[in-house]
Each structure stands twice: as structure tokens, then as C-alpha cells.
Amino acid sequence: MNANMIENSVEIQIPFHDIDVMQVAWHGHYAKYLEIARCALFETINYDVPEMQTSGYAWPVIDLHIRYAGPLTYNQVLVVFAKLVEWENRLKVEYKICDKVTGKRLTKATTVQVAVDIKTHEMLFESPAVLFEKLGIEKIEN
């Protein structure tokens, strides 16, 4: 497996309870849509949340950037794309949210996650070997 090719997408239909008084999805819900896509992404390498916990590492999001280019509206069907772009010292995922019908990009975003030892709660400054195993690549030791 080529780690540069780790990507996935999910379809999400905007539910009524996600829209605000302006009839668009409240901006805070975008993080939820990204999370759904990110979990689907990590499922492709069998390293979603349960496997992370079993491996002894948590991967909290430490940075989130969202660019709101267009509104998401009630009942609209979206495709949320997620692609792993960094993994050596942290996980960086790039996202794109597009309208399913038109293909128009409505949002782009990135998240950064770091490995934290579940027992000690210490942040690691490089990704643990288990991530490299899941990616099918050899970890180069310094």
C-alpha cells in the first residue's frame, strides 16, 4: 500500500437538526462531517478508534482549519473526501466537501492529530510503529 494513496469518501445528507435560523448547516457541524470522513479513512487501513485504543494510543485533534466556500443546506447530499497527507510525526488529513449532484466544492479543511500514550498521557513527537505497520510501510529509525 502506498501511504500517499490513503483516501476515502462518505456521503452525508444534511439533516434538519443541523441547520440554523438562516437555513444552512451551522458551522460547528462541519467538524462532525469531517470526523465521519476521517473515521472512514482510517477504517481503510484498519486503524479507526477501537484499533487505536487497542494499540495503546489516542490521536486527539490538535489543529483544525476550515474554509467555508459555500453553504450546506437542508437535505443536500454531500460527498466528504478525506486524504492522509502526513504521517511521520503526526497525522494530517486534508478534506474536501462537495455537492454530490453538481460536484461543486463547498468546503475545504485540514486536521492535525498527534499520538498520545493512553497510559502516561504523554504526547509522542513521532508516530508510533503501529501506524507505519497499518500503512504497510517501514518506519525509518533515527
Residue 139 pLDDT > 90, yes or no? no
Give the C-alpha separation, 24 to 118, whole Å: 38
Q: What are the two backbone dihedrals, phi and then psi, of residue 40, each rounded to the nearest 5 degrees?
A: -65, -40
Cell reading at 52: 487505536
* Residue 130 included in any domain: yes
Q: Which residue has the cell 485533534?
A: 61
* Residue 141 included in any domain: no
Please say whether the dihedral angle defined by the alpha carbons of residues 136, 48, 40 and 33, taken in this order, is positive or negative. negative
Instruction: Print the domain residue range for 114.
Output: 3-135
* Residue 13 included in any domain: yes
Geometric angle at alpha carbon 131, from 125 and 133, rounded to 5° = 135
Distance of CA 63 to the CA centre of its chain: 11
* Residue 140 included in any domain: no
As a whole number, the mean pLDDT across the chain is 94
The CATH number of whichever domain residue 131 belongs to comes to 3.10.129.10
Work out how many domains the chain is built from and give that number. 1
* Residue 80 included in any domain: yes
Per-residue pLDDT tens digits for 21-70: 999 999 999 999 999 999 999 999 999 999 999 999 999 999 999 999 99
Per-residue pLDDT tens digits for 65-114: 999 999 999 999 999 999 999 999 999 999 999 999 999 999 999 999 99
User: Nearest-CA neighbor of 59 among 69, 45, 73?
Assistant: 45
Give the C-alpha separation, 50 to 19, whole Å: 30
pLDDT, average across residues 112-122: 97
